[in-house]
Structure 1
Amino acid sequence: MKTEIFSTVSRETIVKRMEADHFDVLVIGGGITGSGIALDAATRGLKVALIERNDFASGTSSRSGKLIHGGLKYLQNLDFPVVKETGRERAIVYNNARHLVYPIKMNFPLVKKESYNLVTLKAGLTLYDRLAGVKKEERHTIYSKKTTLKREPLFNKDTVQGSGEYVEYRTDDSRLTMEVAKTAAEAGASALNYAEMTEFLKNEQNQVKGVVARDHIGEQTFTITAKHIVNAAGPWVDKVRKKDRPIEGKYMVLAKGIHLVFQYRDLPVSSSIYFQHKGRMIAVIPVGDRTYVGSTESLYSQNMDDIHVNKSEVTYLLGCLHDMFPDVNLTEKDITSSWAGIRPLIGEQGKSPSELSRHDEIFESDTGLVTIAGGKLTGYRKMADRVLTHIEAKAGIHLNGTQTDTVKLSGGKFDSNEEMNHYARKLHGMYHDLELTAEEIMNYVLRYGSNTEKLLHLISELNTTYTDKEERDVLAEVHYTIQHEMVASLIDFYDRRTSYLLFNLEKVKRSLPYVAKEMATILQWDSAKEEEERREMNYLITKAVTFKEA
């Protein structure tokens, strides 16, 4: 297997490079925030290292609502700068990763006794269009009750009074994060998953100068030194901060959200929907033959590494769906998968829970450790820019301005949707002997983008070996994601690289025996390691459709 810069088979080389080099910036945390910082720094010409204790996007960045929000909901709080920034950032993320970010029509129904009426919705969407710089063809439309119910027959006819339609953008959050990290590596950063920071190294002036890291795959400990260390560990930032010094002032408060997945035929909405239910916002998003629904939000203080969906949360969301779609009789048994995640809100001693901040903030300890916390998926580029600006001021140096507004992500080498569609059609013609449908090819392009031909080449290599088409195709994805996307475990593959765990659980069950066997061969697992991986995967399959009593 050819060694690639972002490959599991290159781990030893990456570890040696991390030990040997002295970096300008070391980033702790491989979620969207940390990956974004690494990309920004690397494209400015800085020498960058990025370590993640688990897999890229294994925390919050794979458990979001999978929307690149334009910031509409911030209008209610009159937070105009956030609406303006996130709306414009959304367009940049879309242009740089068209294979992973898709415009969708979002239906916002006016519901009796909720906070919006026809006047406030029209005013809000008009202001939103202007602040967010929405393109003319994507600006909102207001519909009467009669037209609304015709466009979405499932709505509750007694409570829905009309609707507004605007454009949102859906994404694959975990793949977006991974592609940002991969693009950082392609720009020169040294990036490694399953590398946990265990302690800080400090100089004679008690300033942080590096870390000791544990490679959980190679089972070795190594050191990394850097001029500047950034803690971007998401909900885990306080755990990292405590290894530096006791926490004073601001601290993380965790908010939990959940999403449920159904067969599309069981929840056949005509478009994506964002509705209010007793003041809370609920999203209903169709994706292929599935529809997912979320989210609840509640404070969370339990195990951060094994977050479960509770029965009470399922009951709540099912109740919301019943109120909005009374003719759709969904039960817990109709749930095909689910996910739960946590995000960090910023609390401060002496302030109440209602005063928790959802904005990102940067703070620095007296040892020089820079921490960034809070924020949202959409704003990852701006968060990275703010961190680099902070480092620039702190060090009294001049850096080139951020370039990531024009950096196409790995797989995102398209300038238009037509160009991407043309690429898919071309591949369909070139690889017609694989008997893949145009839809299957397009689905691969919407996952791997302009890298899809590398996958199809691998499928071709396996074509004469396997008579079962699904087995051939899935095993080719296994080879591709290990070789090019740093997959090191079954869960990396089934969850964060393909989303099969979330949107095609039956495929996971069918393919698990041969995928586990193939990964064991490629990654040289012994029988005990292979059995441990299978056990963990089976646990996650069960967890996706089993809900805990609160």
Structure 2
Amino acid sequence: MAAGAAPVTTESDCRCDVMAVTDRDCAGVTACPGDRGLLLVAPGGYRGRVRDPNLTRSAAGQLSPERRATDLRRLRTERFDVLIIGGGVTGAGAALDAASRGLKVALVEARDYAAGTSSRSSKLIHGGLRYLEQLEFHLVHEALTERGLLATRLAPHLVRPVPILVPLPAGESLRDLPARAFRRAYYGAGVATYDAFAGVFGGGRGMPLHRHLSREGARRIFPSLRADALAGAIRYYDGQVDDARLVVTLARTAASLGATVVTSTRAVGLIRQAREVTGVRVRDLEAAPGSPDAEFEVHARVVIGATGVWSDDMSRMLNDVGLRPGIRVRASKGVHLVVPRSAITGETGLILRTASSVLFVIPWGGHWIIGTTDTDWRLDRSHPAASARDIQYLLDQVNTVLDRPLTTADIEGVYAGLRPLLAGEADSTSKLSREHAVFEPMLGLLLVAGGKYTTYRVMASDVVDRAARRLGGVRPSRTADLPLLGADGYAAMWRDRADLARRHGVPVGVVEHLLERYGTLTRELLALIDADPLQASPLAGAPEYLAAEVTYAARAEGALHLEDVLTRRTRISFETTHRGLESAGHTAELMGAVLGWDAATREREVAHYRARVEAERESQLMPDDATADAARLGAPDVRGFAADRGVDGDSVELPTSSR
């Protein structure tokens, strides 16, 4: 045993307290048996539990079907320090934060990772240029700090710079020259301040500086801009991310540090002793119908609700004991359109001012993402629907600056998500704060809500800090220095991508595609291809993706259903005009080989997915929110629960799909 280390004989002697253990820093520790790998004692008596050091960190974080079964048993039989409800970016971030502090952590999610808001964003990691105008300097500072960390340290394989133009409107006469000069100075000062904040607070800027452009310069890099619609432009940079993939990576990184993470597990009620929450009653939505084991209790010292637009439901569950409501959240619907890259000619994104907010036009591989709206939504929260009115609004706004107007015929995909904004007195959701809050409505229960996708790590740290006060003896957050799976060694692997392609017999473009989605985990997909060359085959209906990516999603990324892969592990559902229908059969075959699906199950999965696509298409033809919502509800949820209306029988249930 290492000098100074206290003897360890049982698991109860050890706190699950571990730094970011990588594949190479297990030296200087002494091992003793543990139920999930090894209990480790470092020199000086520091104790912690991590995986078997013979396993790679990525292998320890594989969310396989077998891992789910094991984690379900753990939920039933063990007591946790922290139980998190919600598998969006905030919940997954909180699981990672708590696990990296050494806490015994569990996370339950009713649907899939990022099934709610966290997969339906504008795909930007940004400081919020418009928040400078609203004088929300703290929010800008916080977001730019997080952007810098993600782009340079935590997830450089998932977050990368994207150039964005701020078009400066043209005047109609010489009398407009002073106004044009003022606008350039005004916007220029704002962007310069943005860059200055990033340089000072951004943890390593990670983004190039802004640049002023003339009208001709702007149209050289964005020829589709109408010449009469601008006097010039300012180019600046923000971060771009595959939002759903970042959430899955957070969950896997938490799992690699010992967290128990289980999807398709719905919280149906809180367990209370007197006036204290001691756990959650959950239902396994993958259990056989009528199974006596489908519903069970999970016990924890602290329960954290990271349920986004369902935060009010958790608060209302406490009304029966006379407690005041907790966080009040107002859902704001944001709709995005996806059009092919050929529909607009440009090398950068755009940010446009509208009457009520801003509009982004963002390059996304072979596509453009156009969004977003910002309107109240009081209908089904599980499946917010885009209406024909939403779609036409976005087309009208973007067409004010394009030389060839877009029409509905150009649209490949549409998606809608809900922002969980802290409720206030503002008439418009666009004026509500993007700040977050942590609230403790009852002993043992913490709720976190509000905030921005970009600042998920701060939200996670804040709520775990509150939990730590109750638990005692917990180390501070360390996620600012903890690279996510796939980040460590990414730059070197990118430099060696040509050699990597040669060694595995695949085109360099394939390796680049994988590196930009998986980072250094690319080696695991290449290993699948080495073992079975058919895994290098293009996916039917979506040739930019490989069969190996579907197999890997089911084997290592916790995908349980067809829509998990077509809408979140890949983005085929909005990147193709067929919305993934031409890929569904092939995807079901590949997933079925991993998950043990028979022919009937494969057919059922495809039928569910087809019904979803048809319902979404119908909703997008409806004139308003009410009719669009009714159309979208025509498709049953593949996980077996009805559309969320807040009530199931006599008790409130929590869909637990977080931000």
TM-score (norm 1): 0.92
Structure 1 position 14 matched with structure 2 position 86: no
Change (3 A) 1:18 1:458: same
Structure-1 separation of matches of 2:450 and 2:279:
24
Q: In the alignment, what sits opposite 2:569?
A: 497
Structure 1 position 86 matched with structure 2 position 138: no
Q: In the alignment, what sits opposite 1:257?
A: 334
Q: In the alignment, what sits opposite 2:129?
A: 72
Q: In the alignment, what sits opposite 1:430?
A: 503
Q: Once structures 1 and 2 are overlaid, which stretch shifts more, 369-378 or 474-483? A: 474-483
- Contact 1:103 1:167 (C-alpha < 8 Å) held by counterparts: yes
Change (3 A) 1:137 1:383: closer
Number of equivalenced pairs: 539
One-letter identity of the residue aligned with 1:293? I
- Contact 1:254 1:345 (C-alpha < 8 Å) held by counterparts: yes
Shift of residue 149 of structure 1? 3.0
SS at match of 1:218: coil
Structure 1 position 182 matched with structure 2 position 248: no
Q: In the alignment, what sits opposite 1:242?
A: 316
Deviations 1:432-469 (A, max 9, x none): 1xxx3211221111111111121122123332x68965
Q: In the alignment, what sits opposite 1:276?
A: 353
Structure-2 separation of matches of 1:413 and 1:169:
19
Q: In the alignment, what sits opposite 2:407?
A: 331
- Contact 1:83 1:132 (C-alpha < 8 Å) held by counterparts: no
Structure 1 position 482 matched with structure 2 position 554: yes
1:98 to 152, 156, 161: 156
Q: In the alignment, what sits opposite 2:286?
A: 217
Q: Percent identity?
A: 31
Change (3 A) 1:253 1:161: same
Structure-2 separation of matches of 1:352 and 1:409:
39
Deviations 1:21-70 (A, max 9, x none): 21111100000000111101100111110110110000000000000012
Q: Once structures 1 and 2 are overlaid, which stretch shifts more, 148-157 or 333-342? A: 148-157
5 Å-filtered alignment, 1:164-175, equals 164-175=234-245
Q: In the alignment, what sits opposite 1:312?
A: 389
Q: In the alignment, what sits opposite 2:33?
A: none
Q: In the alignment, what sits opposite 1:407?
A: 482
Shift of residue 497 of structure 1? 0.5
Change (3 A) 1:27 1:468: closer
Q: Once structures 1 and 2 are overlaid, which stretch shifts more, 175-184 or 288-297? A: 288-297
Deviations 1:340-361 (A, max 9, x none): 111111115x775566332111
Change (3 A) 1:466 1:180: closer
Structure-2 separation of matches of 1:102 and 1:230:
31
Change (3 A) 1:466 1:150: closer
2:194 to 124, 128, 148: 128
5 Å-filtered alignment, 1:384-403, equals 384-393=460-469, 395=470, 397-403=472-478
Shift of residue 174 of structure 1? 0.2
Q: In the alignment, what sits opposite 1:145?
A: 215
Structure-1 separation of matches of 2:116 and 2:379:
15
TM-score (norm 2): 0.77
Structure 1 position 55 matched with structure 2 position 132: no
Shift of residue 148 of structure 1? 2.3
**Max Rg structure:** 2
One-letter identity of the residue aligned with 1:496? R
- Contact 1:337 1:544 (C-alpha < 8 Å) held by counterparts: no
- Contact 1:264 1:290 (C-alpha < 8 Å) held by counterparts: yes
Q: Once structures 1 and 2 are overlaid, which stretch shifts more, 60-69 or 210-219? A: 210-219
Structure 1 position 231 matched with structure 2 position 305: yes
SS at match of 2:111: coil
5 Å-filtered alignment, 1:157-168, equals 157-168=227-238
- Contact 1:148 1:162 (C-alpha < 8 Å) held by counterparts: yes
Shift of residue 112 of structure 1? 4.9
Structure-2 separation of matches of 1:65 and 1:469:
27
Alignment RMSD, CA only? 2.5
Q: In the alignment, what sits opposite 2:28?
A: none
- Contact 1:108 1:273 (C-alpha < 8 Å) held by counterparts: yes
Structure-2 separation of matches of 1:81 and 1:127:
13
Q: Once structures 1 and 2 are overlaid, which stretch shifts more, 2-11 or 496-505? A: 2-11
Shift of residue 398 of structure 1? 4.0
Structure-2 separation of matches of 1:440 and 1:467:
9
Deviations 1:66-113 (A, max 9, x none): 000123221011111111111111011112111211111111111258
- Contact 1:490 1:537 (C-alpha < 8 Å) held by counterparts: yes
Q: Once structures 1 and 2 are overlaid, which stretch shifts more, 263-272 or 241-250? A: 241-250
Deviations 1:366-412 (A, max 9, x none): 3431100011111011111111222234x272421211111111122
Q: Once structures 1 and 2 are overlaid, which stretch shifts more, 115-124 or 220-229? A: 115-124
SS at match of 2:423: strand
One-letter identity of the residue aligned with 2:475? N
List gaps (5 residues or longer) in structure 2.
1-58, 172-178, 289-293, 625-659
Q: In the alignment, what sits opposite 2:445?
A: 369
- Contact 2:83 2:304 (C-alpha < 8 Å) held by counterparts: yes
- Contact 1:98 1:414 (C-alpha < 8 Å) held by counterparts: no
Q: In the alignment, what sits opposite 1:207?
A: 276
Change (3 A) 1:507 1:335: closer
Structure-1 separation of matches of 2:384 and 2:579:
23
Shift of residue 330 of structure 1? 1.6
Change (3 A) 1:508 1:439: same
Q: Once structures 1 and 2 are overlaid, which stretch shifts more, 302-311 or 240-249? A: 240-249
One-letter identity of the residue aligned with 1:234? G
Q: In the alignment, what sits opposite 1:510?
A: 582
Q: In the alignment, what sits opposite 1:110?
A: 168
Structure-1 separation of matches of 2:415 and 2:195:
32
SS at match of 1:365: strand
Shift of residue 155 of structure 1? 1.6
List gaps (5 residues or longer) in structure 1.
none
Q: Once structures 1 and 2 are overlaid, which stretch shifts more, 499-508 or 250-259? A: 499-508
One-letter identity of the residue aligned with 1:281? V
Deviations 1:96-143 (A, max 9, x none): 111211111111111258998111112111211122226497121112
